[in-house]
Amino acid sequence: MAQSNGTDVRLMKGNEALAEAALRAGMQAYFGYPITPQSEVMEYLTMHAPEHPGVVILQAESELAAINMVYGAAGAGARVMISSSSPGISLMQEGLSYMTSAQLPALVVNVQRGGPGLGTIQPSQGDYFQAVKGGGHGDYRLIVLAPASVQEMVDFVFDAFRLTEKYRNPAMILADGALGQMMEKVALPPVGSLPRSAAPWATVGKPATRERNIVTSLFIQPERMEQINLQLQAKYRTLEKEEVRCEQLQMEDADFALVAFGLTSRICQKAMELARQKGIRVGLIRPITLYPFPSAVIRKAAGQVEAFVTVEMNAGQMVEDVRLAVDGTRPVHFTGRMGGMIPTPEEILAKIEAVVAEPSLQHA
């Protein structure tokens, strides 16, 4: 089903589309460990790796081993990916902290499920804090992209590899079980479309012509460690300036703004349609990069709308970043479902109507 522009169009599950995208994006190594609802990623890769000779696909003995294999392979200059779901990602927190500190590029995929604990295997956005504030120790950030469609499960793989390599900081695709399991039409970019820039810092064997390369996160003198931290912070400031991505829908005339990411943003679209049918002018702001967060967009919108309603599949996590952006200038409301439950458009509509009906739109 190749199209004239060289892209394939297929009907695919999110997890499989992501795996195919990784192969086409020139991923050189994948390490993982099975966990629902993302096991199809490794299953697809083991099935299709032979079509891409030289690609390493290895089922590790654990997520802990897997993230450290990623560390090794990334440090050796390979384009590398790992995927898991919530509990498995928790096990990688030490590794992720190490990787940010050692400034290694890698793509980490979290297809979230309901928590905390073993929880459920149903879709959730309960790991926002973990992804965005840093679940591991120390001051670091991941670059976090939140897809909302199977097509974006493909596109963001390319994007995330580009970003992680440009900034030498791990990037995360934060999806959820529904996105991983659902099928949609996807256009697949051709193989070889994402060139890899040189990694002169990689440990590949020291030729006589250069000093040895060292990949480490140990800087035992605190003065030195602070320098590393300042480097990281400078990088994060650049990210915040240059790499924010955000989608706005029908915000032109909006009196109320929904704020939602990932799958939830699509449910919000439906709710927005319903609200507009009832004459309520609702717009939608969808943060695509959760870190760097589109604070400026939201701050700007605060000058226009009467109130914000944040919708998440959790107890209220991104809403803190929305509040920080709005900084008290407008009320920020929240509605969400937890533990694997998905909010319905009708529930969201009801929340919008309740907000609209508030006697005063002053901040409580």
Ligand X SMILES: Cc1ncc(C[n+]2csc(CCOP(=O)(O)OP(=O)(O)O)c2C)c(N)n1
139 binds, among another protein, a second copy, ligand X, none (CB under 5 to 8 A by kind): a second copy
Smallest distance from a second copy to CB 318, Å: 12
Applying CB under 8 A, does 107 fall inside the site for another protein? Answer: no
Residue whose C-beta lies closest to ligand X: 35
Select from 3, 216, 238, 344 the one that contacts a second copy (CB under 8 A).
Answer: 216
Residues numbered 65 to 104 that lie near ligand X (CB under 6 A) are 87-88, 91
Smallest distance from a second copy to CB 5, Å: 39
Considering the complex, state which of residue 66 and residue 258 has its C-beta at the smaller distance from ligand X: 66
Rounded CA separation 319/204 (Å): 44
Applying CB under 8 A, does 250 fall inside the site for another protein? Answer: no
Select from 243, 320, 347, 361 the one that contacts a second copy (CB under 8 A).
Answer: 320
Applying CB under 8 A, does 215 fall inside the site for a second copy? Answer: no
Per CB under 6 A, which region of 29-37, 130-138, 174-182, 214-222 contacts ligand X?
A: 29-37
Applying CB under 8 A, does 216 fall inside the site for another protein? Answer: yes
Considering the complex, state which of residue 31 and residue 156 has its C-beta at the smaller distance from another protein: 31
Chain center to CA of 315: 19
Bond into 116 cis (ω within 30):
yes
The binding track of 13-52 with respect to another protein, each residue x by CB under 8 A or -, is ---------------xx-x-xxxxx-x--xx--xx--x--
Nearest to 166 by CA among 195, 137, 188: 195
Nearest to 351 by CA among 328, 327, 332: 332
CB 357, CB 351: distance < 8 Å? no
Crossing angle for the helix pair 150-167 and 222-242, nearest 10 degrees?
Answer: 140
Size of the site for ligand X (CB under 6 A): 7
What residues have CB less than 8 Å from 193, skipping those under 6 apart? 24, 25, 158
58 binds, among another protein, ligand X, a second copy, none (CB under 5 to 8 A by kind): another protein
Applying CB under 8 A, does 134 fall inside the site for a second copy? Answer: yes
Count CA atoms closer than 13 A to 20's CA, side-chain side: 22
Smallest distance from ligand X to CB 221, Å: 16
173: three-class secondary structure by DSSP: strand
What residues have CB less than 8 Å from 250, skipping those under 6 apart? 272, 276, 281, 282, 283, 284
Considering the complex, state which of residue 64 and residue 244 has its C-beta at the smaller distance from ligand X: 64
Residues numbered 67 to 106 that lie near a second copy (CB under 8 A) are 86-87, 89-91, 93-94, 97-102
Ramachandran region of residue 262, left (φ > 0), alpha (ψ -120 to 50) or beta?
Answer: left
Amino acid type, 331: P
228 binds, among a second copy, another protein, ligand X, none (CB under 5 to 8 A by kind): a second copy
Applying CB under 8 A, does 221 fall inside the site for a second copy? Answer: yes
Nearest to 106 by CA among 116, 114, 96, 115: 96
Q: Which residue has 């040189």 as its token pair?
A: 198
Considering the complex, state which of residue 91 and residue 280 has its C-beta at the smaller distance from ligand X: 91
Q: 278: how many CB neighbours lie within 10 A of its CB?
A: 11
List Cα–Cα distances, 166 to 143, 160, 172, 174, 292, in angstroms: 11, 10, 14, 19, 15
Residues in the site for ligand X, rule: CB under 6 A?
33-35, 63, 87-88, 91
Residues in the site for a second copy, rule: CB under 8 A?
64, 86-87, 89-91, 93-94, 97-102, 112, 114-122, 124, 126-127, 129-130, 133-140, 216-230, 232-233, 314-315, 317, 320, 323-324, 326-329, 337-341, 363
